[in-house]
Amino acid sequence: MNSKAIRSVLIVGGGTAGWMTAAALANALPLGCHIRLVESEDIGTVGVGEATIPPIRLFNQSLGLKENDFIKATQGSFKLGIEFVNWGSLGQRYFHPFGSYGRQFDLVNFHHHWWQARQQGKADSLDQYSMAWVAAQAGKFAPPVAEPRSVLSTHDYAYHFDAGLYARYLRRYAEQRGVERLEGKISAVQQQPHNGHIRSVQLESGLVLDAELFIDCSGFRGLLIEQSLQTGYEDWSHWLPCDSAWAVPSERGDLTPYTRSTALSAGWCWRIPLQHRTGNGQVFCSHFIQPQQAADQLLQQLEGKALAEPRQLRFVTGRRKLFWNKNVVAIGLSAGFLEPLESTSIHLIQAGIAKLLALFPDNSFSPLLRDEYNRIAIREMENIRDFVMLHYKLTQRDDSELWRYCAAMPVPDSLQYRIELFRQYGRLIPGELDLFGNTSWLAVHIGQHNLPEQSDMLLNYRPAHGSDYLTKLQQAMQLAVRQLPSHQDYINQYCKAEPAP
């Protein structure tokens, strides 16, 4: 091996972040690198990141995981998108689909043809032109087909799963490939005197663990990235004011192939269906509601009996000023936190791992690699922040303090520009390193009443008859959805899990 190659990596913390990192590194570095993970059974994990977005499939595929085996092992189900209830206004709902609205059939973008037809009374709501929603509302699911001429090729999907079971599944994968797990709490951290790099950590047992590269997966504490290296934190709570959450599992209800987010008076609650239970939670702002009131609201929303006492989490939305500092890379909650409104928590873990592998250092820890990692990571997280903020900013609700605050709050120029460009001209301009593409932004703009004042001027010169295409598209989707199995039938046939203990 090259004399500068890193030969030892220590991952501090387990949970989803730690074991996703361990599995990916074990897969990418099968020879010549000793990978260890230290965690303590006495330190709990957040464990509520049970809804994902489509890129998780790429992560699993990169590890060679078989989808049906993974679904069985994690009590998982399938996800075609997110239904938002009471966000734009009370009593109103819309769907953020995975996939696209129809298919591009003209030089002018699909949504301009839809909006023109809608204004003429010749089109249904935008949701009805998404194969993901047509299937989701019918409780149907099957993966998209490869034939591009079929409407059944226009949707995408992700998963709901038990995050604790996923971590356990990846732990087995990683340990089978040589990752060494050590049990214990870290009592001290030693740094190199000449450059401040982390040299080793010491466990309460007295065991000293050294490494060349350290991955901080210690959660909100940021044991290495913050407590030792004092990297600093950028607080975004003035833009995303929710600072707490309650989480509680309940008896299994309807196995819908989508996540639901319902806006309440001082926050919102989630519903995530798994094979063995339903995951529930409420994100709220403690400035506008007492924690116990929020817990009561959540329990009133449950569709089945609670299986445990609600567990409270507290957080400050934002990010570390650096994600990679010296010889420490923070992945997961140690790097920052965005509320799980668009199911991005697990994706941010995945994205951090992907960047680390793409920019994997040698033992000189070049600032060029570190700076590029931080540049990309910061831009990615800021783009997600803006997309999550869009849901709050576009509300028309004025029935409570939180929504009045959000509707009036100033937002970053980057977000305000995109809001105004769509409002005036219906234009969707992807940003650099955007995780969420045009379909996602369109769903929220239209779903929360940010309607274009004019359509694409090219429509005046085009012979295409958009309303005719929309009618044929709806007919094709209604015909196609009848061919799909129910979500439950698909799971029963391919990936039904054993009953949970």
Active site residues: 79
Cα(268)–Cα(282) distance, integer angstroms: 6
* H helix intervals, 37-193: 55-62, 67-73, 110-119, 131-137, 163-176
Cα(58)–Cα(76) distance, integer angstroms: 17
Cα(19)–Cα(171) distance, integer angstroms: 6
Cα(287)–Cα(293) distance, integer angstroms: 12
Cα(406)–Cα(394) distance, integer angstroms: 8
Per the CB < 8 A criterion, the answer to whether 270 and 280 are in contact is yes
Six-digit token pair at 438? 């045009």
Six-digit token pair at 271? 């519903």
Cα(36)–Cα(31) distance, integer angstroms: 14
For residue 175, the number of C-alpha atoms closer than 13 Å in the C-beta half-sphere is 12
Per DSSP, the residues of 19-68 read HHHHHHHHHH--SS-EEEEEE-TTS-------B--THHHHHHHHTT--HH
Per the CB < 8 A criterion, the answer to whether 190 and 202 are in contact is yes
